[in-house]
Every structure is written in structure tokens, then in C-alpha cells.
């Protein structure tokens, strides 16, 4: 049984939500960076604190930087706590994503698009399956992501992919194999994160440029939680360890409270949903039939 507060911007009221957090994934512990991750590029732009429990990514006019998981995973729960670039972050993008390495790749994306001081970030999500993406959704957050750490996580099993912001599901991509839509199930993915300059598109569609006099731009991270089947040893390891908790019934679908919260995000914070973009998709993408049930 848990109680927590949701500050609803548009209603201007404080909602108190109490209930069982039935299908909430396990609470991540504060795992140090080096246990699961290594830098990918521009190593000197990653700074370490508290023995590697906390890190910062720095972006300046020379380069951004990024890191990736050591292992590749098939299913699991992956989370990270991030404090986004504060102040003037226009033009910058901070990303947290899972991706397989092959040509027809699968990918699960969180992209945080920065903004001018005091203007809201946008969280863009996307899902690629078998090399096909074009499934963007965009929301505003119900809090300022630059003042405190918030957790961003992905639950991925055979039934669904769920994007969480703290404990709130903001997006669900159900397995719609029965409708002919590919679902990531056999290509292991690595986890990546990066901070880079994308002022050609990120903020107000590219109108707002990165102000390099404000550099370095700094995103802070901690809590590098990974709970998945590592690819090379998955079958045996997960079976014998009884590790596949994410396949259990309570994780095969959201529960009633989670659907309520997802609807709340849909109704109050959605800016864009490819499922309702009739200009781009005169025929609604097939998997959106499931999306409509929300
Ligand atoms: C930045 O702020 C402007 C003005 O409030 C808003 O229209 C836009 O959606 C915000 N976010 C991004 C990433 O452009």
C-alpha cells in the first residue's frame, strides 16, 4: 500500500493517490556506474563523483559524450535517475535508450529536448521494431526535470514495453504480433545514454539554437539499475535464478491504477502522438488500435 502526491499542473490541484502498487517493478537500488556501464565516446567529458555512484555528462562546443551498458539484454527492467541540464538548455538533447546492434534493429527511446531558461522540456519517446520507427510521442513533464533527480525506466517483456517516469507509466507499446506488428523479442539490446547538440531540430523545431556562451551543459546521473537477462547466458541464468519476474502475470499488463495514470498523462501532457497524426498517417498504424484502448 502506498500513498503519493501528484501535482496536476493544469488542474492546479494536489491529487492524493493511494493504492497498491501492484505491478510496479522492483525499486532500483543505487548501483554505481562502473558495474553496468562504460563510456562510449569523449571519455574526458564524463565526470565521476562519490566513487562513481554519480556522474555528469558535459557538452561543450567541441563535443557531447555518452555511455553504454557492458552487457546486452533480452527483456528486463532498466532505469536511470537523471537531473537534466538546468538553465538554458535549448538545442541540447539528453537521451536514454535501448538498442540492438543489427541492421533491422529494435530500439526503445527516451529523448529529453532542452529549452530556454524557464521554458518546458519535451520528452519524446519512440519505438523501433525490425528497423521501423516513426512512432514518436511527445509529452511535457509535470515537474521541472532540472531541479531534482527523477527516475526514467523501461520495463520490457514478451507482452509489453512500458516507459515509466518515476512510478508513472507514460507510454505502453503492447505486443501486437497478432495484428502483424513486429515486437522486439529476439535481438538483445544494449542500454545507451548521451548528451549532444541537436539544435537543428530539438527546440521549437530548430528555431532556438544552442547558446554556447552557456557551456558546458551538464546532465547528472545516478542509480544505474539493470535487471535483465544478459544475452549470452540468458536462458539458463534466468531460469535457474528464478530471475524472470518481469514475465509474471502482474507485469503482463498495467493494472487499473497504472491505466488511470497513463490516461492522466495522455489527457494533460501530450503534445504529439503519431497514432492521431492523420496527415502523416492517413491510415492509422495498426498497433494504435491497442493504444486507443487506454
Ligand atoms: C520550449 O518552449 C516553447 C515555448 O514555451 C514551447 O513551445 C516548446 O514546446 C518548448 N520545448 C521544446 C523542446 O521546444
- Report the separation in Å between the CA atom of 208 and the middle of ligand 1, taken as the mean of its atom positions: 9
- Cα distance between residue 199 and residue 279, in whole Å: 25
pLDDT digits (tens, 9 = 90+) for 14-69: 333 333 344 556 666 678 999 999 999 999 999 999 999 999 999 999 999 999 99
> Quick one: average pLDDT of 155-170?
97
Domain of 161, CATH number, reads 2.60.120.200
Q: For residues 209 and 21, is the Cβ–Cβ distance under 8 A?
A: no
Helix or strand or coil: residue 240?
Answer: helix
- Report the separation in Å between the CA atom of 45 and the middle of ligand 1, taken as the mean of its atom positions: 27
CB neighbour list of residue 163: distance below 8 Å, 6 or more residues apart: 108, 110, 125, 152, 153, 154, 169, 170, 171, 172
- Report the separation in Å between the CA atom of 273 and the middle of ligand 1, taken as the mean of its atom positions: 16
116 to 121, 194, 213, 268: CA distances (angstroms): 9, 20, 13, 22
pLDDT category at 293 given cuts 50, 70, 90 is: low
- Give the ligand 1 atom nearest the CA of 271: 9
pLDDT exceeds 80 at position 104: yes
**pLDDT value for 230:** 87
pLDDT digits (tens, 9 = 90+) for 174-213: 999 999 999 999 999 999 999 999 999 999 999 999 999 9
Q: For residues 71 and 169, is the Cβ–Cβ distance under 8 A?
A: no
Q: Please choose, from the candidates 107, 52, 117, 61, the residue with its C-alpha nearest in 3D space to the C-alpha of residue 84.
A: 117
Q: For residues 55 and 47, is the Cβ–Cβ distance under 8 A?
A: yes
**pLDDT value for 292:** 66
**pLDDT value for 124:** 98
**pLDDT value for 30:** 78
Which residue has the CA at smallest separation from atom 2 of ligand 1?
119
Which residue has the CA at smallest separation from atom 12 of ligand 1?
203
- Cα distance between residue 30 and residue 35, in whole Å: 11
286 alpha-carbon distance from chain centroid: 23
pLDDT digits (tens, 9 = 90+) for 238-265: 654 555 888 888 999 999 999 999 999 9
- The pick from 112, 119, 137, 140 for probing ligand 1's pocket by mutation, whose C-beta has the most ligand atoms within 8 angstroms, reads 119
What pTM, to 2 d.p., does this model score?
Answer: 0.89
Which residue has the CA at smallest separation from atom 13 of ligand 1?
203
- Report the separation in Å between the CA atom of 202 and the middle of ligand 1, taken as the mean of its atom positions: 9
**pLDDT value for 2:** 34
CB neighbour list of residue 61: distance below 8 Å, 6 or more residues apart: 212, 215
**pLDDT value for 26:** 63
- The pick from 203, 205, 207, 208 for probing ligand 1's pocket by mutation, whose C-beta has the most ligand atoms within 8 angstroms, reads 203
Q: Which residues are catalytic?
A: 107, 111
60 to 42, 63, 86, 117, 286: CA distances (angstroms): 11, 6, 14, 18, 42
pLDDT category at 291 given cuts 50, 70, 90 is: confident
pLDDT exceeds 80 at position 1: no
- Cα distance between residue 168 and residue 46, in whole Å: 29
- Cα distance between residue 164 and residue 187, in whole Å: 22
Q: What is the secondary structure of 139-162 as a DSSP string?
A: E--SS-TTSS-EEEEEEE-SSEEE
pLDDT category at 13 given cuts 50, 70, 90 is: very low
**pLDDT value for 199:** 98
pLDDT category at 274 given cuts 50, 70, 90 is: very high
Percent of the chain at pLDDT above 70? Answer: 85
Which residue has the CA at smallest separation from atom 5 of ligand 1?
119
Q: Please choose, from the candidates 39, 279, 275, 284, the residue with its C-alpha nearest in 3D space to the C-alpha of residue 135.
A: 275
- Report the separation in Å between the CA atom of 120 and the middle of ligand 1, taken as the mean of its atom positions: 6
Helix or strand or coil: residue 247?
Answer: helix
Percent of the chain at pLDDT above 90? Answer: 79
Least confident of 113-117, 145-149, 276-280, 288-292: 288-292
Which residue has the CA at smallest separation from atom 10 of ligand 1?
120
| Average pLDDT score over the chain | 89
The total number of structural domains that make up the chain: 1
Q: What domain range is 278 assigned to?
A: 2-291
Amino acid at each position: 500500500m502506498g500513498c503519493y502526491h501528484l501535482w496536476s499542473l493544469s488542474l492546479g490541484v494536489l491529487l492524493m493517490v493511494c493504492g497498491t502498487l501492484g505491478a510496479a517493478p522492483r525499486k532500483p537500488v543505487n548501483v554505481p556506474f562502473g558495474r553496468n556501464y562504460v563510456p562510449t565516446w569523449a571519455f574526458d567529458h564524463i565526470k565521476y563523483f562519490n566513487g562513481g555512484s554519480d556522474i555528469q555528462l558535459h557538452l561543450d562546443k567541441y563535443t557531447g559524450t555518452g555511455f553504454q551498458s557492458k552487457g546486452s539484454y533480452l527483456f528486463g527492467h532498466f532505469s536511470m535517475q537523471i537531473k537534466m541540464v538546468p538553465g538554458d538548455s535549448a538545442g541540447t538533447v539528453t537521451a536514454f535508450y535501448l538498442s540492438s546492434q543489427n541492421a533491422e534493429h529494435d530500439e526503445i527511446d527516451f529523448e529529453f529536448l532542452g529549452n530556454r531558461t524557464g521554458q518546458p522540456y519535451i520528452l519524446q519517446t519512440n519505438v523501433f521494431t525490425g528497423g521501423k520507427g516513426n512512432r514518436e510521442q511527445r509529452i511535457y513533464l509535470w515537474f521541472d526535470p532540472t531541479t531534482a533527480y527523477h527516475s526514467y525506466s523501461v520495463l520490457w517483456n514478451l507482452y509489453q514495453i512500458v516507459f515509466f517516469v518515476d512510478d508513472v507509466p507514460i507510454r505502453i507499446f503492447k505486443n501486437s504480433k497478432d495484428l502483424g506488428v513486429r515486437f522486439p523479442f529476439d535481438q538483445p539490446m544494449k542500454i545507451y545514454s548521451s548528451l549532444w547538440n541537436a539544435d537543428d531540430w530539438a527546440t521549437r523545431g530548430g528555431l532556438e539554437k544552442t547558446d554556447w556562451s552557456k557551456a558546458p551543459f551538464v546532465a547528472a546521473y545516478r542509480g544505474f539499475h539493470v535487471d535483465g537477462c544478459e544475452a549470452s547466458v540468458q536462458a539458463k541464468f534466468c531460469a535457474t535464478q528464478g530471475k524472470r519476474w518481469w514475465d509474471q502475470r502482474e507485469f503482463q499488463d498495467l493494472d487499473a491504477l497504472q491505466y488511470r495514470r497513463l490516461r492522466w498523462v495522455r489527457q494533460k501532457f501530450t503534445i504529439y502522438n503519431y497514432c492521431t497524426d492523420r496527415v502523416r498517417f492517413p491510415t492509422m498504424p495498426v498497433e494504435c488500435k491497442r493504444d486507443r484502448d487506454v
